[in-house]
Each structure stands twice: as C-alpha cells, then as structure tokens.
Amino acid sequence: MSPDVPGLVQDSTNLATIATKGDTVEIVTSQRSAIESSKIAAARMVATVCRLAGFETENTGSYPGWKPEPNSDIVKKCQSVHEEVFGHPAELIAMHAGLECGVIGEKYPGMQMVSFGPTIVGPHSPAERVEIPSVQGFWKYLKAVLEKI
C-alpha cells in the first residue's frame, strides 16, 4: 500500500506467463511501481524467493517508474478543463501501472505529463474490457483539453 494515498497499491508483482520448453519451465513475472527504487526492491524480492526455491533467475526489461506531479501546470489545466466539461474537478489517482509516462519521462526528464482515459475493468487479465459509456466522456474531455493547451 502507498503511505501517501490510503488504499492505493504502490507496488505490485504479477505472474505474466509460464511456459515449458522440453524439461525446462520458464516463469515470467512483472514488477511495477511509481517509485523506481521500490520496483527494483520488489524484483529482488521475487528473484530471492525463486532462487530459494531452486530456480535460476534473470532480470530483463521493465517499465520505468513515473511519479506524478499533482501540482504541475498541466495537471491544473486538465483539472480546470474537467470542471468546465463535467462540472466538477477530476479525481486524481496515482497509479503504479507501467504507463507510457514512465518511458517518456525517462527520455525527457522534467516534462510535465498526465495520463487519463476511459474506464478500464480487469486490466491485464482475460476479462479486460473498457466501459463503453466512459469512452464518449473521455473523447469529449480529450478534445477540450487539446483545445485549451
């Protein structure tokens, strides 16, 4: 859990795939965090548990962390536009997901960013889906944000 936002998961590990190749079993996991050092610590913990169980481990590519800046000018602008479009400020939620913002932010440090979209249910699962009614509101909001920046 995040110490800053009650109920928010700051770090996570998921079982991505299990595959067999002859007499070898390959297990792939993915660690995510808004804080890069926390993500690395989670990956080390998973590797340690796997080594204790007799597995060889290898750490390969990952998404960089992204720490949102809720007081940035772009967030304030998006909040203002959300209030104009929907009559109330947007609910700000910090997520630990592997967002493109982490990839872009790693290449362009200091760039102001926000991430928003329609409502996704069951992400990264066979039951993943978008709530269709949320797409229309997202599109209306996106157009309004682009007109104001």
pLDDT tens string 15-59: 888 999 999 999 999 888 877 788 889 899 999 999 999 999 988
Average pLDDT of every residue of the chain: 86
pTM attached to this predicted model? 0.69
pLDDT of 137 above 60: yes
pLDDT of 61 above 80: no
Nearest alpha-carbon partner for 38 in 13, 8, 16: 13
Burial classification of residue 33, based on how many CB atoms lie within 10 Å of its CB (0-12 exposed, 13-18 middle, 19 or more buried): buried
**Residue 112: strand, helix, or coil:** coil
pLDDT confidence of 8, banded at 50, 70, 90? low
> pLDDT exceeding 90 applies to what percent of the chain?
48
